[in-house]
Structure 1
Amino acid sequence: MSTTYADRPATSAPDDGEWLRSWDPENPATWDKSLAWRTLWISTFTLTLCFASWFLASAIAPKLTNLGFDLTNNQLYWLTSMPGLAGGLMRLIWMVLPPIMGTRRMVTLTTALLLIPVLGWGVQVQDPTTPYWVLLSLSFLSGIGGGAFSGFMPSTSYFFPRRMQGTALGLQAGIGNFGVSLVQLLTPWIIGFSMIGFLGSSAPMAAPPGKAAQVVWYQNAAFVYVPFILVGAALAWAMLKSVPIKANIRQQFDIFGNPDTWWMTLLYIMTFGTFAGLSAQFGLLVKNLYGAGNPDIVQGVGSAARLLVEGYTVPDPVAFVFLGPLVGAGARILFSPLTDRFGGARWTLVAGLGLIASIGYTATALTPDTTSAASLDAGFDRFLWGMLAIFLFAGIGNASTFKQMPMIFERRQAGGVIGWTGAIAAFGPFFFGVGLTIMSPTAFYVIGLAFAVLCVAITWWRYARPGAPRPS
Structure 2
Amino acid sequence: MSVDRTTAPTREAAPGGQPFETAKGRWITSWNPEDPHQWNGGGSAIARRNLQWSIACEFLGFVVWQLWSIVVVYLPAAGFTFTTSQLFWLISMPSLVGATLRIPYTFMVPRFGGRNWTVVSALLLLIPSVGLAVCVSNPETPFGVLLTVAALAGFGGGNFASSMANITFFYPAREKGWALGLNAAGGNIGAAVAQLVVPVVIALGAVGTLNLPLAGVIWIPLILLAAFGAWKYMDNLTSAKSDVAGSLAALREPHLWIMAVLYIGTFGSFIGFAGVFPKLIVDVFPDFSTFALGPATLSLAFLGPLVGSLARPYGGRLADRFGGAVITVCAFAVMAAAALAVVWTLPASNFWLFLALFLVLFAAAGAGNGATFRMIPVIFARRGLLETLRGRPRGETPGKGTGTAVTETVSTARKAAAALGLISAIGAYGGFVVPQVLNASRGATGAYDAAFYGFVAAYAGMLCLTWFFYLRPSSTMGKV
Q: Tell me the TM-score normalized by structure 1.
A: 0.85
Which one-letter code corresponds to 1:66 in the other structure?
A
Structure 1 position 187 matched with structure 2 position 198: yes
Alignment of 1:25-424 (within 5 A): 25-31=33-39, 32-194=43-205, 202=206, 214-244=208-238, 245-291=240-286, 313-316=287-290, 319-365=299-345, 369=347, 375-376=348-349, 378=350, 380-409=351-380, 410-424=412-426
Tell me the CA shift for residue 247 of structure 1. 2.7
Between 215-224 and 404-413, the greater mean CA deviation after superposition: 215-224
| C-alpha distance in structure 2 between counterparts of 1:420 and 1:217, whole Å | 38
SS at 2:138's partner residue?
coil
Q: Per-residue displacement from partner, 1:339-369 (whole Å, max 9, x unpaired)?
A: 2122211101110111111111112245xx5
Alpha carbons of structure 1 residues 443 and 33: separation in structure 2 relative to 1, 3 Å:
same
Query: Structure 1 residue 46: deviation in Å?
Result: 0.5
Query: Which has the higher mean CA deviation after the structures are superposed, 404-413 or 38-47?
Result: 404-413
- The residue identity in structure 1 corresponding to 2:441 is M
Deviations 1:126-156 (A, max 9, x none): 2111111111111100000001111110110
Assess if the C-alpha contact under 8 Å between 1:10 and 1:20 holds in 2: no
Q: Is the 8 A contact 1:80 1:429 kept in 2?
A: no
Q: How many residues align?
A: 419
Cα distance in 1 for partners of 2:431, 2:146 equals: 17
Instruction: Give SS of 1:129's match.
Output: coil
Is contact 2:265-2:430 (8 Å) kept?
no
Instruction: Confirm or deny that 1:20 pairs with 2:28.
Output: yes
1:349 and 1:234 mapped to 2: Cα distance? Answer: 41
Q: Is the 8 A contact 1:402 1:418 kept in 2?
A: yes
Q: Is the 8 A contact 1:166 1:403 kept in 2?
A: yes
Residues 426, 33 of structure 1: CA spacing in aligned structure 2 closer, same or farther, 3 A cutoff? Answer: same
Secondary structure of the 2:237 match is coil
**RCO comparison, higher one (Cα < 8 Å, 6+):** 1
- Once residues 40 and 464 of structure 1 are traced to their aligned partners in structure 2, the CA distance between those partners, rounded to angstroms, is 31
> Hey, what does 2:407 align to over in structure 1?
none
Equivalent in the alignment of 1:466? 473
CA shift, 1:11, in A, is 4.4
Aligned mates of 1:359, 1:57 — CA distance in 2:
24
2: CA distance between counterparts of 1:247 and 1:105? Answer: 16
- Counterpart-to-counterpart distance in 1, 2:247 and 2:439: 36
Q: Mark the runs of 5 or more structure 1 residues left unpaired by the alignment.
A: 1-6, 195-201, 204-213, 292-312, 370-374
CA distance in 2 between counterparts of 1:183 and 1:112 reads 18
Q: 1:383 offset after TM fit, Å?
A: 2.4
- Once residues 401 and 184 of structure 1 are traced to their aligned partners in structure 2, the CA distance between those partners, rounded to angstroms, is 26
Q: Distance in 1 between matches of 2:228 and 2:25?
A: 16
How much has 1:20 moved relative to structure 2? Answer: 1.6
Q: Is the 8 A contact 2:78 2:210 kept in 1?
A: no
In 1, Cα distance between the equivalents of 2:81 and 2:125?
27
Tell me the alpha carbon deviations over residues 213-242 of structure 1, each in whole angstroms, 9 at most, x when there is no partner. Answer: x42332222111111100111111122111
- CA distance in 1: counterparts of 2:317 and 2:436, whole angstroms: 35
Query: Could you say what the CA RMSD is over the residues aligned between the two structures, in angstroms?
Result: 1.9
Gaps of 5+ in 2: 1-10, 292-297, 381-411, 443-447
Asked if structure 1 preserves the Cα contact closer than 8 Å seen for 2:177 and 2:313, the reply is no
TM-score, reference length from structure 2? 0.84
Rounded Cα–Cα distance in structure 2 between residues aligned with 1:216 and 1:271: 35
**Cα distance in 2 between the residues matched to 1:429 and 1:467:** 34
